[in-house]
Amino acid sequence: MIISFQNKALEELYVHGVTKSHEYRRLPKDIVKRFIKVVSYIKAVNRIEELFLIKSLHYEKKKGDLKGMDAVWINDQYRLLFRSSPDEKGILVNALIIEISKHYE
């Protein structure tokens, strides 16, 4: 699967574990580690249904304002929002990492 990032800060965070971006530079180190782990999970799966098997992710398709996005838990406070693109057989070929959001804010 091809992972891409909506903004450079998320890519820096994934590759280097740090970023200069104001939005993400103050994330706790354990959240950054978990973010890297979660992106690796997404990268490793062949079908989106495989994310359901990793119970700690609490995978869900978003509705309402976020319709068309997928979400997984980084922890109980932070969510990773992304868009997945399966091919005609349901195999994931692309995932666009959109943002790390603080849940309920």
pLDDT in tens, 67-97: 999 999 999 999 999 998 877 777 778 899 9
CB burial readout 62-85, b (16+ within 10 A) else e: eeeeeeebbbbbbeeebbbbbebe
Task: Kindly indicate whether the domain formed by 2-102 is annotated with CATH number 3.30.2310.20.
Answer: yes
Instruction: Kindly list the distances between the CA atom of residue 82 and the CA atoms of 26, 94, 96, in Å, as whole numbers in the listed order.
Output: 21, 10, 5
Side-chain half-sphere of 2: how many Cα atoms within 13 Å? Answer: 6
Q: Listing from the earlier edge strand, what are the strands of the sheet with 78-86?
A: 2-5, 92-102, 78-86, 70-73, 60-61
| Cβ neighbours for 29, distance < 8 A, ≥ 6 positions apart | none
Using one digit for the tens of pLDDT, what is the confidence trace for 29-75? Answer: 999 999 999 999 999 988 888 889 999 999 999 999 999 999 999 99
Residue 24 confidence (pLDDT) above 80 = yes
